[in-house]
Chains A and B, each alone.
Chain A
């Protein structure tokens, strides 16, 4: 006969107001196998737990039911207490009588709540009688981290993990790390030069003996599970030997062919052998194989002739490498909505209607104009400049429904930079709301208006078109209730921040979720903001949603702390709630294998003594299994059971009725 204890929590008044907990305790005491029951004000409090442990020992209990709040809240607490009192922690079960009972029933006579609590508790008692002792699974941990994306979030994560003493590989698809931040001129609200604060971190990452940079590379495939990922990375051919190249620049100086610079967003040209920008890290060029005449038709080859250390190698091919990692940090960043999306703003066909990011390049000292604000069409200085916020943001019909969060601030910054560079110019800003939540952000916007003379107009622009060499901006100022028309020389669109085109592919490779806008899902938006449902895969920066630099950096450090915690011991323990295959009844139909979303089921050969394969079996990789139970449902021969949630346990609970 089992010796079960039932502990009914009053949760102050949360439960007690609609459940007569003492009555529940008295009634359950009469059930077979139950030897001890009690009702208590706060079971989770220190005195509550002490009396819990004492009761276990004194009554020699071998199974516990705690009727209290959701197991999400305190299952861990009570299982730990039970373990401390000498029980197997999996012999302690929670009946949720708060979220699923007292909070949803409002009967002041407590009749309904008490009856339902009785049912829930009885079910759990019957279920508990079928529980088996389970032992936590321990898995070895490879103490090496992969960071996907070399923007500011990824760099920060890599530096913090490396400073914690572990090896890190940064995989970056561009020829240089730095990401979007490398494009920015100054940063709000401090007006530090973006490159001045970013490049030291880029160089630190390059020189760190624990960090390896795989630039011009992409993640192809991810196998394995937390602590034990096996990742295949494609290193695209650079046609330059990284071990000998000194980055002297002779090759790109002499290269006679040009293409639009991706980094400069089409505002200037780069060579066909190039580094994206002068402070590139690593300072090693790549050859654009789609445009190089030597590669395309075996003509030219000038770069190879002028290269001192003979680093150019036209025969190089893409290379696949497979490496082991214990944790993966996803920091793939964002894209901007293309201007071609905005019909009413000219579909991107009006040359002097530019994006905010293009304005950053114009304002940047290292940009195509050396920091002078000039019109792309004719190189003249714009005297009237209009900034249009929410271009694509907060626009369910043609753009995205969300607020891109950073545009209010960078637009204010743009007006300041503009005024600092064009003293006699006038900036106009069309806005819907000014969202300046952040330390010293509101003061910054006020500065743009009061000190730097930006004219803020509350309204959305209906149309932008060309007339007599001017750009006509037709909008409204809803505060005065009038239409506004401005003859502008240049228009800057604060285009919406959107997820990467490749976001879904990367998500599928990693087995993580994304939302309707293809931003990656956090495990919990408030309490687990950098974790994903796939253990060991973490998120940092704008791949999760719009955020500014301070937030991205914070997230970079946050994932580092998660990774370092994971790397703090050689083995990690995890809950033994995993699927188990009955080797006798499995008929190897592989339905489970197809159903498993975590690729946790393997085909295993069973051999006889001579080594001949006699049958095939499905086996569960406990490291990968997340205990979701899909395979249990898929299995036609009922050969799979879920530890902790066996059919036997579930039927016992149901049979209570």
Chain B
């Protein structure tokens, strides 16, 4: 099974580990992620004002290009997923805006693409039961807190990947990998996102709360689906106190790859001062 894949800017650069671990894991469970031949930045934020046609045109261009590669498009980054999926819904449901955007792009895209997150492919196409069978190195003893943040979940009516108040898709995946998922209340709260650019105080507080909440409930490693969440959580660690310092913040695909037997050196666990590696070693997984 080949699925067209939109990497997005960050996964092409800063979060390359996210990209490669996902692709390797896909192969291991039986599907191939095929980079779109040509793509551009999605804009990294869905335009919340409906009259902002300009903001829709970049993601719409991605979609229109992807449609030429197939009927489905998958992504990894929560933000890309959110922007593409919401834009696609606009192109599908809103005739007026569809017309404006198409006129602007000199294109004729109708919103018929199906946008799925990598996690959805695992859950709905492969199946977590099947995934479990494919695991070669069960993540026994790994107490992982699944952090969803905002963009993977909200707004529910547009995204609908999972229940917006109590999602379980990542926990279910972690269970399949043999890890012990740790529930924590802040798993659906915001990390501060782009305020990283100009409001360190807010980001420190918000990301700090997330880490604190996860650690309090017993998480020893935090799993994310978003490079910005990963960045924010990691960058505030030192300022939020001893309990939270040094907790590895990794992409879900890194643990996935580990469980599926990928080479540890290829998984990019070196970041964060090697915290993840130290932890995994302590747990006897390296």
Contacts and interface: CB of A to CB of B under 8 A. Distances in A.
A347 B185 contact: no
Contacts of B163: 343
B216 A343 contact: no
A343 B185 contact: no
Interface in A462-485: 465-468, 472
B251 to A, nearest CB: 26
A472 B185 contact: yes
Contacts of B165: 343-344, 347
B134 to A, nearest CB: 31
Interface in B175-196: 185
A467 B166 contact: no
Contacts, number: 14
A343 B164 contact: yes
Contacts of B213: 467
Contacts of A347: 165-166
Contacts of A344: 165
A641 to B, nearest CB: 49
A161 B83 CA distance: 65
Nearest to A343: B165
Nearest to A466: B185
Contacts of B216: 467-468
Secondary structure class of chain B's binding surface, majority of residues: loop
Contacts of A465: 185
A182 to B, nearest CB: 34
A465 B163 CA distance: 16
Contacts of A468: 216
A343 B216 CA distance: 22
Interface string B203-218: 0000000000100100
B14 to A, nearest CB: 32
B261 to A, nearest CB: 36
Interface in A448-467: 465-467
A460 to B, nearest CB: 15
B185 to A, nearest CB: 4
Contacts of B185: 465-467, 472
B88 to A, nearest CB: 23
B241 to A, nearest CB: 16
Nearest to A344: B165
Interface in B47-104: none
A184 to B, nearest CB: 31
A198 to B, nearest CB: 38
Nearest to B183: A466
B12 to A, nearest CB: 36
Interface in A337-375: 343-344, 347
Contacts of A466: 185
Nearest to B165: A343
Nearest to B188: A463
A472 B209 CA distance: 14
A344 B163 CA distance: 11
Interface in B146-166: 163-166
Contacts of A472: 185
A344 to B, nearest CB: 5
A465 B166 CA distance: 11
Contacts of B166: 343, 347
A347 B213 CA distance: 20
14 contacts: A343-B163, A343-B164, A343-B165, A343-B166, A344-B165, A347-B165, A347-B166, A465-B185, A466-B185, A467-B185, A467-B213, A467-B216, A468-B216, A472-B185
Cβ-closest 9 pairs across A and B: A343-B165, A465-B185, A344-B165, A467-B185, A343-B166, A347-B166, A343-B163, A468-B216, A466-B185
Given A343-B165, A466-B185, A467-B216, 11 more contacts: A343-B163, A343-B164, A343-B166, A344-B165, A347-B165, A347-B166, A465-B185, A467-B185, A467-B213, A468-B216, A472-B185
